[in-house]
Amino acid sequence: MTTTRVAILGASGYTGAELVRLLSRHPNMEIAALTADRKAGQSMADVFPHLAILDLPPLTAIDEVDWNGVDAVFCALPHATTQKVIAGLPKRLKIVDLSADFRLEDPAAYEKWYGHAHAERELQKEVVYGLPEFYREKVKSARIVANTGCYVAAAIIPLIPVLEAGLADPDWIIIDAKSGVSGAGRAAKEANLFTEVSEGFHAYSVAGHRHMGEIDQELSKAAGRPVTASFTPHLLPQNRGILATTYLKGEAQAIHARLAERFAGEPFVHVLPFGRTPATRHVRGSNHCLIGVVADRQPGRTILISVLDNLVKGASGQAIQNMNLMLGLPETAGLEQLALFP
Amino acid sequence: MTTTRVAILGASGYTGAELVRLLSRHPNMEIAALTADRKAGQSMADVFPHLAILDLPPLTAIDEVDWNGVDAVFCALPHATTQKVIAGLPKRLKIVDLSADFRLEDPAAYEKWYGHAHAERELQKEVVYGLPEFYREKVKSARIVANTGCYVAAAIIPLIPVLEAGLADPDWIIIDAKSGVSGAGRAAKEANLFTEVSEGFHAYSVAGHRHMGEIDQELSKAAGRPVTASFTPHLLPQNRGILATTYLKGEAQAIHARLAERFAGEPFVHVLPFGRTPATRHVRGSNHCLIGVVADRQPGRTILISVLDNLVKGASGQAIQNMNLMLGLPETAGLEQLALFP
Amino acid sequence: MTTTRVAILGASGYTGAELVRLLSRHPNMEIAALTADRKAGQSMADVFPHLAILDLPPLTAIDEVDWNGVDAVFCALPHATTQKVIAGLPKRLKIVDLSADFRLEDPAAYEKWYGHAHAERELQKEVVYGLPEFYREKVKSARIVANTGCYVAAAIIPLIPVLEAGLADPDWIIIDAKSGVSGAGRAAKEANLFTEVSEGFHAYSVAGHRHMGEIDQELSKAAGRPVTASFTPHLLPQNRGILATTYLKGEAQAIHARLAERFAGEPFVHVLPFGRTPATRHVRGSNHCLIGVVADRQPGRTILISVLDNLVKGASGQAIQNMNLMLGLPETAGLEQLALFP
Amino acid sequence: MTTTRVAILGASGYTGAELVRLLSRHPNMEIAALTADRKAGQSMADVFPHLAILDLPPLTAIDEVDWNGVDAVFCALPHATTQKVIAGLPKRLKIVDLSADFRLEDPAAYEKWYGHAHAERELQKEVVYGLPEFYREKVKSARIVANTGCYVAAAIIPLIPVLEAGLADPDWIIIDAKSGVSGAGRAAKEANLFTEVSEGFHAYSVAGHRHMGEIDQELSKAAGRPVTASFTPHLLPQNRGILATTYLKGEAQAIHARLAERFAGEPFVHVLPFGRTPATRHVRGSNHCLIGVVADRQPGRTILISVLDNLVKGASGQAIQNMNLMLGLPETAGLEQLALFP
**Amino acid identity of C210?**
R
List residues of B whose CB lies inside 8 A of any D CB. 14, 181-182, 186-190, 192-199, 237-239
Question: How many helices, marked H, and strands, marked E, lie in chain C?
Answer: 11, 14
**CA torsion, ordered D48, D52, D53, D57, to nearest 10 deg:** 100
What residues are paired with B175 via a beta bridge? B231, B246
Nearest chain C residue (CA) to A183: C195
What residues are paired with A8 via a beta bridge? A34, A74
The three-state secondary structure class of B27 is: coil
Over residues C165-206, the pLDDT tens digits come to 999 999 999 999 999 999 999 999 999 999 999 999 999 999
A41 Rama sector, left if φ>0, alpha if ψ -120 to 50, beta otherwise: left
Q: Which partners does chain B have (≥3 C-beta pairs < 8 Å)?
A: A, C, D
The answer to the question of residue D219 being in a domain is yes
Averaged pLDDT for residues C145-159: 98
Chosen for mutation from C113, C172, C174 (greatest number of chain D CBs closer than 10 Å) is C174
Range of the domain at A49: 4-148+313-326
The three-state secondary structure class of C118 is: coil
Same domain, C301 and C211: yes
CA distance D302 to D275: 10
pLDDT at C116 over 90: yes
pLDDT band at C2 (very low <50, low <70, confident <90, very high): confident
Same domain, D162 and D283: yes
pLDDT at A235 over 80: yes
- In this prediction the ipTM stands at 0.96
The minimum CA-CA distance between D282 and chain A, rounded to whole Å, is 4
The answer to the question of residue B341 being in a domain is no
Q: Test C239 with A182 for CB contact under 8 angstroms.
A: no
The answer to the question of residue B184 being in a domain is yes
The minimum CA-CA distance between C113 and chain A, rounded to whole Å, is 27
Same domain, B97 and B81: yes
Q: How far is CA C126 from the centre of its chain?
A: 20
Triad A188, A189, A190: Cα angle to 5°: 125
Q: List CB contacts (< 8 A) between D14 and chain A.
A: 342
The answer to the question of residue D336 being in a domain is no
Position A208 scores a pLDDT of 87
Q: How far is CA B301 from the centre of its chain?
A: 28
Position C208 scores a pLDDT of 87
CB C105 within 8 A of CB C38: no
Q: Test C50 with B240 for CB contact under 8 angstroms.
A: no
Residues sharing a CB contact under 8 Å with residue A155, sequence separation 6 or more, in sequence order? A175, A177, A215, A229, A231, A244, A246, A306
Q: List CB contacts (< 8 A) between A288 and chain D.
A: 53
Nearest chain D residue (CA) to B236: D194
Query: Closest to A196 (Cβ–Cβ): which among B195, B203, B342?
Result: B342
CA distance C287 to A48: 38
The minimum CA-CA distance between C134 and chain A, rounded to whole Å, is 32
Q: Test D336 with A25 for CB contact under 8 angstroms.
A: yes
Identify the CATH number of the domain in which residue C183 sits: 3.30.360.10
The answer to the question of residue C38 being in a domain is yes
The answer to the question of residue D331 being in a domain is no
* C75 included as an active-site residue: no
DSSP string, C72-127: EEEE-PPTTTHHHHHHTS-TT-EEEE-SSTTT-SSHHHHHHHHSS--S-HHHHHHP
Q: List CB contacts (< 8 A) between B182 and chain D.
A: 195
CA distance D155 to B191: 32
**pLDDT by residue for chain D (342 residues), tens digit each?**
689 999 999 999 999 999 999 999 999 999 999 999 999 999 999 999 999 999 999 999 999 999 999 999 999 999 888 999 999 999 999 999 999 999 999 999 999 999 999 999 999 999 999 999 999 999 999 999 999 999 999 999 999 999 999 999 999 999 999 999 999 999 999 999 999 999 999 999 998 899 999 999 999 999 999 999 999 999 999 999 999 999 999 999 999 999 999 999 999 999 999 999 999 999 999 999 999 999 999 999 999 999 999 999 999 999 999 999 999 999 999 999 999 999
Sign of CA dihedral B109, B111, B114, B120: positive
CA distance A183 to A154: 13
Residues sharing a CB contact under 8 Å with residue C65, sequence separation 6 or more, in sequence order? C7, C33, C35
Position C315 scores a pLDDT of 98
Q: Test D284 with A198 for CB contact under 8 angstroms.
A: no
Q: Which helix (H) or strand (E) holds A217?
A: helix A211-223
Nearest chain C residue (CA) to D300: C230
CA distance D295 to A28: 44
Averaged pLDDT for residues B275-302: 97
Same domain, B123 and B197: no
Same domain, C279 and C160: yes
The answer to the question of residue B288 being in a domain is yes
Query: What is the number of CB-based contacts under 8 A between chain A and chain C?
Result: 58
CB A38 within 8 A of CB A48: no
Identify the CATH number of the domain in which residue B91 sits: 3.40.50.720
Q: Test B281 with C48 for CB contact under 8 angstroms.
A: no
- The active-site residue, picked from C9, C76, C150, C290, is C150
Same domain, A10 and A134: yes
Q: Test B194 with D189 for CB contact under 8 angstroms.
A: no
Kindly report the length of chain B. Answer: 342
The helix-helix angle for A252-262 and A150-164 (nearest 10°) equals 110
CA distance C77 to C37: 9
- Phi, psi (rounded to 5 degrees) for B116: -155, 160
The minimum CA-CA distance between B336 and chain A, rounded to whole Å, is 21
Question: How do beta strands A59-60 and A72-75 pair?
Answer: unpaired
Over residues B4-21, the pLDDT tens digits come to 999 999 999 999 999 999
Same domain, D27 and D91: yes
Q: Test D200 with C238 for CB contact under 8 angstroms.
A: yes
CB D7 within 8 A of CB D35: yes
Query: Closest to A338 (Cβ–Cβ): which among D51, D278, D282?
Result: D51
The helix-helix angle for D252-262 and D150-164 (nearest 10°) equals 110
Residues sharing a CB contact under 8 Å with residue C166, sequence separation 6 or more, in sequence order? none
Q: Test B340 with C199 for CB contact under 8 angstroms.
A: no
Q: Which partners does chain D have (≥3 C-beta pairs < 8 Å)?
A: A, B, C
CB B286 within 8 A of CB B337: yes
Q: Test B342 with A195 for CB contact under 8 angstroms.
A: yes
Q: Test D245 with C202 for CB contact under 8 angstroms.
A: no
Query: Closest to C206 (Cβ–Cβ): which among D228, D240, D303?
Result: D303
CA distance D130 to D133: 9
Question: How do beta strands B144-147 and B94-97 pair?
Answer: parallel
Q: List CB contacts (< 8 A) between B42 and chain D.
A: none
Q: Test C236 with D236 for CB contact under 8 angstroms.
A: yes
CA distance B233 to B246: 12
Over residues B169-211, the pLDDT tens digits come to 999 999 999 999 999 999 999 999 999 999 999 999 998 899 9
What residues are paired with B33 via a beta bridge? B7
Q: Which partners does chain C have (≥3 C-beta pairs < 8 Å)?
A: A, B, D
Q: Test D48 with A182 for CB contact under 8 angstroms.
A: no
Chosen for mutation from A38, A46, A193, A239 (greatest number of chain C CBs closer than 10 Å) is A193
Beta carbons within 10 angstroms of residue C68's beta carbon: 8
Averaged pLDDT for residues C238-247: 98
CB A240 within 8 A of CB A183: no
CA distance D123 to D121: 5
Same domain, A76 and A135: yes
Query: Closest to C198 (Cβ–Cβ): which among A189, A194, A196?
Result: A194
Nearest chain D residue (CA) to B188: D190
Residues sharing a CB contact under 8 Å with residue D113, sequence separation 6 or more, in sequence order? D104, D210, D212, D213
Over residues A54-85, the pLDDT tens digits come to 999 999 999 999 999 999 999 999 988 899 99
Residue A215 to residues A103, A341, B7, B38: CA-CA distances in angstroms?
Answer: 10, 30, 55, 53
Residues sharing a CB contact under 8 Å with residue B84, sequence separation 6 or more, in sequence order? B119, B120
Same domain, B241 and B317: no
CB B285 within 8 A of CB B309: yes
Q: Which residues in chain D belong to E strands, given as ranges?
A: 4-9, 29-35, 59-60, 72-75, 94-97, 128-130, 144-147, 173-179, 202-203, 230-235, 242-249, 269-271, 289-295, 301-308
**Amino acid identity of A311?**
L
pLDDT band at B80 (very low <50, low <70, confident <90, very high): confident
CB D316 within 8 A of CB D98: yes
The helix-helix angle for B317-326 and B132-140 (nearest 10°) equals 30
Q: List CB contacts (< 8 A) between B337 and chain C.
A: 25, 337
Position A1 scores a pLDDT of 61
CA distance B262 to B163: 12
Query: Is the omega angle on the peptide bond into residue B342 within 30 degrees of 0, that is, cis?
Result: yes
CA distance C293 to C247: 10
Query: Closest to D188 (Cβ–Cβ): which among B14, B193, B238?
Result: B193
Q: How far is CA A169 from the centre of its chain?
A: 26
Same domain, B203 and B140: no
Same domain, C205 and C132: no
Sign of CA dihedral B152, B158, B164, B168: negative
- The active-site residue, picked from A20, A22, A76, A150, is A150
Same domain, A101 and A198: no
Nearest Cα to Cα of residue A167 among A76, A248, A282: A248
Query: Closest to C192 (Cβ–Cβ): which among A181, A193, A237?
Result: A193
The answer to the question of residue C276 being in a domain is yes
Query: Closest to B247 (Cβ–Cβ): which among A230, A236, A240?
Result: A230
Averaged pLDDT for residues B309-317: 98
pLDDT band at C1 (very low <50, low <70, confident <90, very high): low
Nearest Cα to Cα of residue C291 among C146, C153, C174, C148: C153
Q: List CB contacts (< 8 A) between C307 and chain D.
A: 202
Burial of C25 (C-beta count, 10 Å sphere; 0-12/13-18/19+): middle
Q: List CB contacts (< 8 A) between C228 and chain D.
A: 297-298
Residues sharing a CB contact under 8 Å with residue D273, sequence separation 6 or more, in sequence order? none
- How many domains does chain B fold into? 2
**CA torsion, ordered A14, A19, A21, A26, to nearest 10 deg:** 170
